[in-house]
Structure 1
Amino acid sequence: MSVLLGPVLQFRGCSDPDYNVSALVVTPLDSPSPKVTKDAGLTAGKPVPLADIPLLKPQYRVWRIDVKVAQGTSKKTFNLSIDDQPASFEVPARGQAPRMAYASCNGFSDPKLMDKVDKKNDRWDDMAAVHQRTPYHLLLLGGDQVYSDEMRGRVKSMKDWFAKGMDGRIAATFTKGIESDLDTFFTTLYMERWKQPEPARMFAAIPSIMMWDDHDIVDGWGSYDEGLHSCPVFQGLFRTARLYFRIFQQQLITQPAAQPSPDVHPCQIAGIADGFHMGFTGLGGLSILVPDLRTERHPDFKRGDFTPTQIISAQSWDAIFAWLDKVKGQRHLLVMSSIPVGYLDLQAAEKALDLLPGQQELEDDLRDHWRSLPHRDERKRLIMRLLDYASSTNGCKVTLVSGDVHVAGVCAIESTLQQHSVGGAGVIKQLISTGVVHPSPPALAVYFLESLGAGQEQIDYKITGTMLPIGTRGRYLIPARNWMAIEPDENDPRARLWINWHVEGLDHLVTQVIDPVVKAGP
């Protein structure tokens, strides 16, 4: 068999009347161009080589096959095969909002956690069973599609580097040996993780939209101090992780370097400074904004104090909101923020840690979050712009979907300002679903988090954030592995969304309803 990994389907946007999908496969380096067979109605392009990996010592070739189909008056399933490896996906009817599955945290941050989980891919199997009954059209993957944490044990050169004191790490050179080791590591990481039968089945059945988070690079990327963040080894690690993110998660041409211009995703937002910020429209009154919260992160330490840091550059924010201002006539906007914008108050824990020496690893996790003190101004601007958008003449309901925190939860961000008073526009729900593989924190830790931070947050004048009870007994967090379905109500002319968490160990769904904005009369 020539295909070693894949097909991995990816959604590449709508270009009226076409619905665009691509399929990634990996073959041995010396294999010929893959042979593609397909159903009538699908148009397939010639297989495009993306890269030979590992990039420094190639053994495999990564291919992308672009396919498109004109959307019809009813939904329809299409099949294709790449060197006899099948893929099958359903295309929604023209003007129909897609049924979506959301997941994040597809792995383990600590090998010790693996021993505590009996069936590691149970939630992927559960998703497959639901998809078999009523197919999903999009698979939203919100971060940590792979976990690089095991490099500390599997890559000797990095194990030695992490063993150094802070000054030694900062001064170390990013040698060719380290670069080659990381290159091989990321090849193996994606190949091993993504060829597991359970996630591989879903990757070949639902076109995905992927955005990375810290574990796709290194735990806490962008939240360490300036010296460590900018040192040669950390920057070299980031560049390597970014190359593999481009290849596997964005399906972009990374070689040859002699390309006339860099390959970009067809749904990349124009005018950004850097990163992989994307926007999707043409989805039956639903649009999806997918900002990259990792590429442009930059810490700034002055006089030994942690001062405000950048998550996304001002230029990219301007480009993101310029794109959004052009998106008219939508009922729903989903914003995929890899880290929750609305969540528990972790500032008290962060302040407590400031009193304790030697707590840097925990501090990095806390400072990673939107509610951390260094990020609060940037977060506030984001919230205000989304509220303004929702209450504008677009009349569009804004909903945030996030992962990262290894629990399920819901937060309501609410404005009672007059300019946000159009029916329902002043409420943004934050939906949290994580992890599909990674286990939840211990029950005692979850209880501590709920006790510490589940109160109402005053974001700004007349703007609050409130964690909502979810599940049973008034709890605010569900400490169990889960994935989330986002399902348009096809029989409701108001086009509400049904949100259903599929939680391990529960024999029932946990449900929220998102209604569109009720537009004011003339």
Structure 2
Amino acid sequence: MTSEPPVMTGPLLFLDHVEKYVLRLSVLFIADNGECPEPIETVHGVHTAEILAEYDHMTVWRARFDLPANRSSCYAWNGQSYSLASDFRGDIRIAYVSCNGEQIGDLEREGSERNAMWARLTEDHRNAPFSLLLHGGDQVYADQVTEGHPLSEDWPEHIPKDPSRADLADLRHYLRERFLERYVALYRAPEFVWIAARVPSLMQWDDHDICDGWGSLPGTKTDTPVGQILFDVARESFLTFQHAAVDGDLPERFHDPAGLHLGWSVRTAGLRLLAPDMRSERTRHEVMGDGGWKMIRAEASTPVQGHTFLMSSVPLLGPRLSVLEALMVAIPKMQKYEDDLRDQWQSRAHRDEWCDMLRVIRDMALANGHDVTVLSGEIHLATRATMKLGAGRWLHQLVASGIAHRAPPRVWARILGALAQFGESPLKACPIRIPCIPGQKSRYIAERNYLVLERRSDIWRARWALEESGITPPLIL
């Protein structure tokens, strides 16, 4: 008998920062213990990988290197060349995805079905290259990692009251290995790894990267030793596998070097990408804490030319949910869904904070020479929204969700569409509406999807790639 050859997962490319005409990049590898990836080669030299994190049977490696941001470029690894559409000065294309999985049984799904939209995105890139790949949340569905350990088996319904230090240490080790298992399964998918090696990723997390409803669950659950270990391991895994980073060595794009919140921003020619952290500081009464608000206010007060894409892991603009929320609280069989609605900006619990956020974004969008578009996912549907700003200006929100999560029943899309007819006006004279996506007759589309953003001659256009309906006509932003 012969043993199976070692499997090397990677290269997986991440954007650390943009500095003038330089892209600062990291590339991630996951290898069996004892295996070391070959170095990265660029025109500037050879870049050796270093150990980022270690596990029982695997090691995570990272190499960092620079490429130009004013022309196309490439790097080489293990005898293969990887080309990048790295000229950010003029016309560019960006892809936006979210919800890469499902809560139950995701690792058991058949690969070609699960990753059908990743295969389509890869073919899209072959025809017209993307410069960046934005991931808007729920890159991994980690909800089942708690199963199989006595301290977390019944999370979050039943939590041991006084676990020993030894048992908590064992839980931490168990969860680290389970998170690794999920990321390896996702990152080895051929439909994903091909494009992830050629298009730098930028990622923002949401609840399923931790557990369903993190931050909207009661503090009596999340503030327990078990809850805090779950969050700590999810956060470590998020930094390792979604940013190729560790505490104390965060890329420059993060606003807080200490990592108390994990919001980041990237600026390049005529473009700002802004991704506040809506999970690290979240509670049942706050979407963002002091760190997140400090970041948003600092960005809003900074003069920027061109276009800002604000990534909101839960939709910032949406229909009135207060009636639906009240019904769910009143009906016992529906109370288990109350946390899902509390997760939304439009929840009654977040009304004042939501209005504060809308005012900040409104003022940012009305600044001279500047446009703002909100990108969001989370709801497993494709849709859009607008908010009237005044002076003939509109704030657009584009929702693309999910890349791998199967669409909910069409009746749910119809219910949301009916709810959206009533509109919403949290700010005076700034009504929110849910118009149809170009080429579609319904406000919410129950198909798997991703979003394509294109800048041509300084004009941005958006198209949705829908699994059944195909690519939509462009929406000018």
Q: What is the TM-score normalised by the length of structure 1?
A: 0.84
Indicate conservation of the 8 Å contact 1:157/1:181, yes or no.
Answer: no
In structure 2, what residue type is equivalent to 1:25? F
Indicate conservation of the 8 Å contact 1:271/1:319, yes or no.
Answer: no
- Write the deviation string for residues 425-473 of structure 1: whole angstroms up to 9, x where unpaired: xx11010001000011111222122222342101121111111122556
The 5 Å alignment of 1:87-486 reads 87-93=82-88, 95-96=89-90, 98-111=92-105, 119-151=113-145, 153=147, 155-157=148-150, 160-162=153-155, 166=157, 168-169=158-159, 171=161, 173=163, 175-253=168-246, 262-270=248-256, 274-282=260-268, 284-299=269-284, 309-328=285-304, 330-357=305-332, 359-393=334-368, 395-416=369-390, 421=391, 424=393, 427-470=394-437, 474-486=441-453
Percent identity of paired positions between Structure 1 and Structure 2: 27
CA RMSD of aligned residues (A): 2.4
- Write the deviation string for residues 290-335 of structure 1: whole angstroms up to 9, x where unpaired: 1111011123xxxxxxxxx11211343123321342343x211000
Distance 1:4 1:288, change over 3 A: same
Distance 1:46 1:38, change over 3 A: closer
For residues 180 and 71 of structure 1, the distance between their equivalents in structure 2, rounded to whole angstroms, comes to 40
Indicate conservation of the 8 Å contact 1:98/1:488, yes or no.
Answer: yes
Report whether the alignment pairs 1:79 with 2:64. no
Distance 1:327 1:45, change over 3 A: farther
- Name 2:21's counterpart in structure 1: 17
Greater alpha carbon shift after TM alignment, 505-514 vs 170-179: 170-179
In structure 2, what residue type is equivalent to 1:337? S
- Write the deviation string for residues 379-431 of structure 1: whole angstroms up to 9, x where unpaired: 111111111112223x2111000000000001001123xxxx2x53xx11010
Quote how far apart the aligned CAs of 1:138 are. 0.2
Unmatched runs of 5 consecutive residues or more in structure 1? 255-261, 300-308, 515-522
Give the 3-state SS of the residue equivalent to 2:338 in structure 1. Answer: helix
For residues 231 and 58 of structure 2, the distance between their equivalents in structure 1, rounded to whole angstroms, comes to 22
- Name 1:35's counterpart in structure 2: 38
In structure 2, what residue type is equivalent to 1:502? A
Indicate conservation of the 8 Å contact 1:281/1:327, yes or no.
Answer: no
Indicate conservation of the 8 Å contact 1:502/1:510, yes or no.
Answer: no
For residues 64 and 6 of structure 2, the distance between their equivalents in structure 1, rounded to whole angstroms, comes to 19
For residues 272 and 160 of structure 1, the distance between their equivalents in structure 2, rounded to whole angstroms, comes to 32
Indicate conservation of the 8 Å contact 2:438/2:472, yes or no.
Answer: no
Indicate conservation of the 8 Å contact 1:172/1:233, yes or no.
Answer: no
Quote how far apart the aligned CAs of 1:114 are. 7.0
For residues 335 and 234 of structure 2, the distance between their equivalents in structure 1, rounded to whole angstroms, comes to 23
Give the 3-state SS of the residue equivalent to 2:315 in structure 1. Answer: coil
For residues 172 and 359 of structure 1, the distance between their equivalents in structure 2, rounded to whole angstroms, comes to 31
Number of matched pairs: 470
Indicate conservation of the 8 Å contact 1:170/1:232, yes or no.
Answer: no
- Name 1:70's counterpart in structure 2: 68
For residues 414 and 138 of structure 2, the distance between their equivalents in structure 1, rounded to whole angstroms, comes to 25
In structure 2, what residue type is equivalent to 1:234? G
Indicate conservation of the 8 Å contact 2:256/2:262, yes or no.
Answer: no
Distance 1:356 1:9, change over 3 A: same
- Write the deviation string for residues 77-118 of structure 1: whole angstroms up to 9, x where unpaired: 41321x45764322115x236410000111112228976997
In structure 2, what residue type is equivalent to 1:409? T
Distance 1:60 1:473, change over 3 A: closer
For residues 215 and 177 of structure 2, the distance between their equivalents in structure 1, rounded to whole angstroms, comes to 23
Distance 1:236 1:360, change over 3 A: farther
In structure 2, what residue type is equivalent to 1:92? D
- Name 1:517's counterpart in structure 2: none
- Name 1:306's counterpart in structure 2: none
Indicate conservation of the 8 Å contact 1:104/1:435, yes or no.
Answer: yes
Indicate conservation of the 8 Å contact 1:275/1:295, yes or no.
Answer: yes
Quote how far apart the aligned CAs of 1:188 are. 0.5
For residues 172 and 502 of structure 1, the distance between their equivalents in structure 2, rounded to whole angstroms, comes to 50
For residues 315 and 146 of structure 1, the distance between their equivalents in structure 2, rounded to whole angstroms, comes to 25
- Write the deviation string for residues 19-69 of structure 1: whole angstroms up to 9, x where unpaired: 22211111222234x3224343x555432321112xxxx322211111112
Quote how far apart the aligned CAs of 1:238 are. 0.7
For residues 324 and 44 of structure 1, the distance between their equivalents in structure 2, rounded to whole angstroms, comes to 40
Distance 1:327 1:43, change over 3 A: farther
Indicate conservation of the 8 Å contact 2:319/2:423, yes or no.
Answer: no
For residues 169 and 405 of structure 1, the distance between their equivalents in structure 2, rounded to whole angstroms, comes to 29
For residues 409 and 272 of structure 1, the distance between their equivalents in structure 2, rounded to whole angstroms, comes to 36
Indicate conservation of the 8 Å contact 2:145/2:179, yes or no.
Answer: no
For residues 295 and 134 of structure 2, the distance between their equivalents in structure 1, rounded to whole angstroms, comes to 22
Indicate conservation of the 8 Å contact 1:217/1:238, yes or no.
Answer: yes
For residues 314 and 162 of structure 2, the distance between their equivalents in structure 1, rounded to whole angstroms, comes to 31
